[in-house]
């Protein structure tokens, strides 16, 4: 079957570093996305990994290990505006089509 | 910037009504998607389309249908709304070739009474 797990909630302090983990089990893995979603707004694209390793983009980095079915999103120098839900999504090839399978999301609260 | 718009941010309908949710994208994307988002369940794919007049069922198509008469427009139809279809509905689009990042609209919060 297909399954994506990530923690439901996390809290962190402004200026700190936080790591949001995602584990997945899919039959036709073809890449992994991270999206940010502020309350009441649309998800917006943060990062994409298809090969093992770390992708860095400013304060945000994303890591992938395909053999372990594991990814994490690393947020550095946290700001209050980083309070949001972070969605892990796996691109799964099914019947010739690529579909995204989303985790339930991790709600991050950043405190002063 | 890619822009995906949805016809309504909030909608209240009664059980049994026919409901149309419209989505328009302005980037000439081939692919369009409809999801619903419920607390604790994440985004679940209802239907998607890879071309005009083409549609494919997603993971939860029951109770829904779609229409794609033009490339930029993808409509979600609830033939007879039920209370368990109360949810946030999100439309997304992407181009076919790599990278096929999906871009989302602002969502429609539908309440069925």
Our measurement of the distance from residue A45's CA atom to the centroid of its chain's CA atoms, rounded to an integer in Å, reads 10
How many residues are there in chain A? 112
A103/B contact by beta carbon, under 8 A: yes
Q: What pLDDT is attached to residue A65?
A: 97
Rounded to whole angstroms, the Cα distance separating A49 from B50 reads 23
B112 DSSP β-pair partners: B13
pLDDT band at B41 (very low <50, low <70, confident <90, very high): confident
Instruction: Indicate whether A95 pLDDT > 80.
Output: no
Contact: A42, B48; criterion CB under 8 Å: no
For the CA atoms of A65, A108, A85, B81, the dihedral, rounded to the nearest 10 degrees, stands at: 130
A42/B contact by beta carbon, under 8 A: yes
Question: Which segment of A13-22, A24-33, B6-15, B69-78 scores lowest on mean pLDDT?
Answer: A24-33
CA distances from A70 to A9, A13, B83, B101, B107 (A): 18, 25, 37, 20, 29
Rounded to whole angstroms, the Cα distance separating B97 from A83 reads 32
Cβ pair B46, B76 in contact under 8 A:
yes
Of the partner residues B45, B99, B105, the one whose CB lies closest to the CB of residue A42: B105
């Amino acid at each position: 079957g297909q399954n994506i797990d990530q923690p439901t909630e996390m809290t962190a302090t402004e200026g700190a570093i936080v790591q949001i983990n995602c584990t997945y089990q899919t039959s036709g893995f073809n890449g992994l996305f991270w999206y940010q979603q502020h309350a009441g707004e649309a998800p917006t694209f943060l990062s994409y990994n298809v090969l093992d390793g770390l992708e860095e983009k400013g304060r945000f980095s994303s890591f992938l290990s395909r053999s372990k079915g594991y990814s994490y999103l690393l947020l550095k120098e946290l700001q209050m505006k980083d309070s949001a839900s972070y969605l892990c999504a796996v691109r799964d090839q099914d019947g010739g089509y690529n579909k995204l399978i989303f985790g339930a999301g991790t709600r991050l609260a950043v405190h002063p | 910037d890619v822009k995906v718009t949805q016809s309504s941010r909030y909608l209240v309908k009664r059980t049994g009504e026919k409901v149309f949710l419209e989505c328009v994208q302005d980037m000439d994307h081939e692919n369009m998607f409809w999801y619903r988002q419920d607390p604790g369940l994440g985004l679940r794919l209802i239907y998607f389309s890879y071309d005009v007049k083409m549609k494919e069922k997603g993971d939860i198509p029951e109770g829904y249908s779609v229409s794609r008469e033009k490339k930029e427009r993808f409509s979600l139809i609830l033939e007879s709304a039920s209370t368990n279809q109360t949810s946030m509905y999100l439309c997304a689009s992407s181009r076919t070739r790599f990278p096929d990042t999906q871009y989302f609209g602002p969502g429609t919060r539908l309440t069925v009474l």
